[in-house]
Structures are given as structure tokens and as C-alpha cells.
Structure 1
Amino acid sequence: MAKTGFALNSENKFEIDVTPGSTETYEILAAGLSTFDPQWNEELDQTQYMDGDGFASSDVTGAQLVISFEGHRKFGDAAQDFIASLQPALGEDRKTNFKWTDANGDEFSGNVTVANIVGGGGDANAKNTFSFEIHFNGKPTFTAAPVTP
């Protein structure tokens, strides 16, 4: 059954494959993270047609799901340690697999690139900051939440 009412962001589940290129090993991505922001980064074609009296019509012609994460660096957490290890990597070495299960139980999964990793920083008396982005490569696989009577 679909969720009703207000969901907490902590009901979302994120999993990252920490062994890309071999048997998939998913680790939960949650420790130390306090915020996430999914964006579909849509590409639009906005064209004015003669029958629109000078007003445009919009079509979504492309998109890419990008999820930004922010929080604090937790050393010893398998998911965070894996992401931090990618900082000097480029190209294919930044790619892995990822799953996002939203609060309703719907899942988006697929191959991703980990980008814009910031593995530390901040005030002397503060926890290390940690931020990064997950960029889905191509259309994510969508799996609807199981329907229960």
C-alpha cells in the first residue's frame, strides 16, 4: 500500500556498491549524512509556434538524476570510506552502482558516477564536513514499491 501522510527524510534508504568491477557489495549510505537533495536536471526545448501567439511550448528532451549529499565525515564507515577513496580517481574509476529506495518504497537504481567529493574541512572546533554527488549514468531503473492489500 502506498504511504500516506508526511514522510521523514530518514525513511529514505541509500546503498552504494563498494566493490565495482567485481561481485556487487552494497553498503548503506547514511552515517554522518544529514541532508540529501535529488534533482532531475531536466533539459528543455522551449519553442514559440505561430499558433501560440508568441508564447512558448515546453518539452522535456532529456534529464539526469543527480543526488547531492552533505554531512560530516565518519571515518571507518564502509560507504563513506569508499567514496572518500575516489577523490583522486578519474574516468571509469569514479563509477559504481547505486540504489535509492524512497520513503514510499519505490526504488531507483543503476550505474552512477561519484562527483564533487569534499572529504573534509570546516572550523577547528567542528566535525569534518563531507559532501558529494551521485550522478546516474543514463536512465535509472525504476522499481515500484510492492503493493500490499
Structure 2
Amino acid sequence: MSFELMNKHKFEISTTPGVDPGTFARIAAGITSAEPANNEELSQDKYMDGDGYGETDVIGAQTVLSFSGHRNYGDAAQDFIFSKVLELGNARRTQFRWTEPDGGIFEGDCTIANISQPSGDAGAKGEISFEIHFNGKPDYTPPVAG
């Protein structure tokens, strides 16, 4: 059994929103953690024939990736993301691509959210965090067999 380290995942953000194919910058330098979540919306119901026990259906979702690490000025991805800190609406939208170690790719339109600028102790690296929210269901390309 093989377990891949998280640094084998490749995360990229378009620094030229709306341009096809666009320019993608890798989100990696200074990043210490990436946490994907499906943010599922659940419908939990109890029916008369369930003897008081419930059922759950997943009725909605949004794929969100949370990143944290240290601010690396001059890094194309971080500079683009942090240039949006005061922006709202469409100015926070772009495209995102996530390539898994096995070659599977998730990609699609996204919104940059919850940008937290550098913070921390005087003698420490500036700690940052931000989220990438896919808008709609991301396109998925499975890995090539072989």
C-alpha cells in the first residue's frame, strides 16, 4: 500500500481570470497545509416507519480547500491571492486546478475567500490562510490508466 505525502498534490490558481487558457501559478511556496472539504448539506429526517431513527441524504455540497502557511512576497500565486483582500464580488473569482498524485484533476471556476493577512509574533514568519471555493461542481478528469 502506498501513501502519498500532501506535497505530491499540485494546486494551481489562474492569475489571469477569464482568459483561456490563462496563466496558472502554483500554490506551494510558503504553504504548510492544504485541507480539502466537501462542505456537504444534509437533510436528516425521521419517518414514522423508522421507529424514531433517522435517515440522512446529502442534498448539496461545495468543494472548498483551506490553505495555511507563511506569506511569501514575490510568489505569483500568493501575490495574486493577497491582491484580492479588499476586493468583493467578481473580482474574487478565477479558475483553479488541483492535480492529485495519481494524475486525477479537479478544475473549475472558483472564488478566493476568507483571506487572512500575515499575523504572528514579532520574531516569527507571518502566518496566513485563505480558502478556494469551487463555484459549482468541479470538472474531474480521472488519472490515465497504465
**If the length of structure 1 is used for normalisation, what is the TM-score?**
0.94
CA shift, 1:130, in A, is 1.6
Choose 88-97 or 20-29, whichever is displaced more. 20-29
What corresponds to 2:144 in structure 1? Answer: 146
SS of match in other structure, 1:96: strand
Report the alpha carbon displacement of residue 49 of structure 1 after superposing the two structures with TM: 1.4
Pairwise mapping of residues 15-94 of structure 1 onto structure 2 (< 5 A)? Answer: 15-23=12-20, 24-94=22-92
Measure, in 2, the Cα distance between the counterparts of 1:128 and 1:137. Answer: 29
Q: 1:120 aligns to what?
A: 118
Structure 1 runs not aligned, ≥5 long: none
Give 1:103 shift: 2.1
- Alignment partners' CA distance in 2, 1:69 and 1:60: 25
SS at match of 2:65: strand
Which deviates the most, 67-76 or 22-31? Answer: 22-31
Counterpart amino acid of residue 143 in structure 1 = T
CA deviation after TM superposition for structure 1 residue 87, in Å: 0.3
Secondary structure at the residue paired with 1:113?
A: strand
For residues 15-41 of structure 1, give each alpha carbon's deviation from its aligned partner in whole angstroms, at most 9, with x where no partner exists.
100011334111111000000111100
Residue of structure 2 equivalent to 1:129 = 127
Please state how far the C-alpha of 1:68 moved relative to its aligned partner: 0.3
Aligned Cα root-mean-square deviation (Å): 0.9
Q: Which runs of 4+ in 1 moved over 4 A?
A: none
TM-score (norm 2): 0.96
Secondary structure, aligned partner of 2:119: coil
Q: For residue 6 of structure 2, what is the aligned residue in structure 1?
A: 9
Per-residue CA deviation, residues 109-144 of structure 1 (Å, 9 max, x unaligned), is 100000011121111001111210000100010110
Q: SS of 1:109's equivalent?
A: strand
- Worse overlay, 40-49 or 15-24: 15-24
In structure 1, distance between residues paired with 2:23 and 2:52: 54
> How far 1:95 moved relative to its partner?
0.3
Instruction: Give the counterpart letter for 1:68 in structure 2.
Output: S
Q: Which runs of 5+ in 2 are unaligned?
A: none
